[in-house]
Amino acid sequence: MTEVIPYPKDAPIALLDLGSGPGALCKFLLGHFSNAKAVCHDGSDEMIKLGQARMTGLEDRVRHVQADFSHGGWSEKIGGSFEAVVSSIAIHNVRAYETIQSIYGEAFSLLKPGGCFLNFDRMKPSRDEQLKWLREIGFENVQCFWDSPKRALIGGFKR
């Protein structure tokens, strides 16, 4: 994921981790991007608490937002815009295809021009179907950056 995010390691970028859970991906990305700030988003109060505990010492670089991305309008609670919106093993949990499309659309609305959306997840629905949705929403250079039998890293960029 760090190789796909199109910014130098020392760039002062803003990251959004959708469905961040206990914050493992976000903490990794903050370690890689030394001047980044992040928003960890999750729908679960318990996950937010675990994430806050994991981010001890990084409080000046991260904030947590609780919002249920299975309901439209969640992005309004996030605030701001981002160079990268990422997610790991979270979005598939909503299961409803229309809801996944809606999450992708709201993620697009939060990106700054030149920014990227990356989703590392189980590919249900199919990888090709999700890539099609990303193109329809307006993402450019949409592709699968990494693939395995159970998971893939897909995403695209905002012009």
Question: Which residues make Cβ contacts (< 8 Å) with residue 125, sequence separation at least 6?
Answer: 97, 100
Let me know: does 70 contact 2? Beta carbons within 8 Å. Answer: no
Let me know: does 62 contact 40? Beta carbons within 8 Å. Answer: yes
Q: Report the side by side order of strands in the sheet with 82-88.
A: 62-66, 37-42, 14-18, 82-88, 111-121, 152-157, 140-147
pLDDT tens string 102-122: 999 999 999 999 999 999 999
Indicate the pTM of the whole model. Answer: 0.97
pLDDT tens string 28-57: 999 999 999 999 999 999 999 999 999 999
Instruction: Tally Cβ neighbours within 10 Å of residue 51.
Output: 23
Please give the domain boundaries of the chain with CATH numbers for all domains: 14-157 (3.40.50.150)
Q: With bands split at pLDDT 50, 70 and 90, how would you rate the model's confidence at 133?
A: very high
Token output for 90: 């979270």
pLDDT at residue 70, rounded to an integer: 94
